[in-house]
Amino acid sequence: MLELIEAALRRPNLVAFVLLLLWGLYITITHHNYVKKLVGLYIVQTSVIFFLVATGFKEGATVPVITGGNDDYVNPLPQVLTLTAIVVQIATLGVSLGLVSRIYRKFGSLDEDEVLEKLG
């Protein structure tokens, strides 16, 4: 147990990632409001992006451009992946907000229980 905590403390980024992921999942599952569900989903997606950025981090390294001075470079690929993942996340958010706004206009409510009640 102690080793586990020690290993976790050496990687605070990963602890933050796991907490964010679980928090987001919890919100998505427990809340009945559609917008809050989306907030949870957004946190889950962000936590994954945070993980990608965190794995690419290297202390004291610079951009991968050869300048002759510092030879320690950061691998730029995780950041490129992150960029694409953010675009995908935004597209998902756009579609989901579009759906939510149509649900609201149709049923006059954002609460899952009320909407299901109206559907019968």
61 part of the interface to another protein, by CB under 8 A: no
> Nearest Cα to 35, choosing from 85, 96, 91, 90?
96
- Number of residues counted as binding another protein (CB under 8 A): 31
> Nearest Cα to 50, choosing from 10, 16, 25?
16
Closest approach, Cβ 74 to another protein, in A, equals: 13
88 part of the interface to another protein, by CB under 8 A: yes
28 part of the interface to another protein, by CB under 8 A: yes
Nearer to another protein, 70 or 118 (CB): 118
Where do we find the tokens 């992946």? 81
Task: Mark the segment that binds another protein (CB under 8 A) among 5-13, 61-69, 70-78.
Answer: 70-78
Q: How far is CA 44 from CA 38, 51, 55, 73, 111, in A?
A: 10, 11, 17, 29, 21
Closest approach, Cβ 73 to another protein, in A, equals: 14
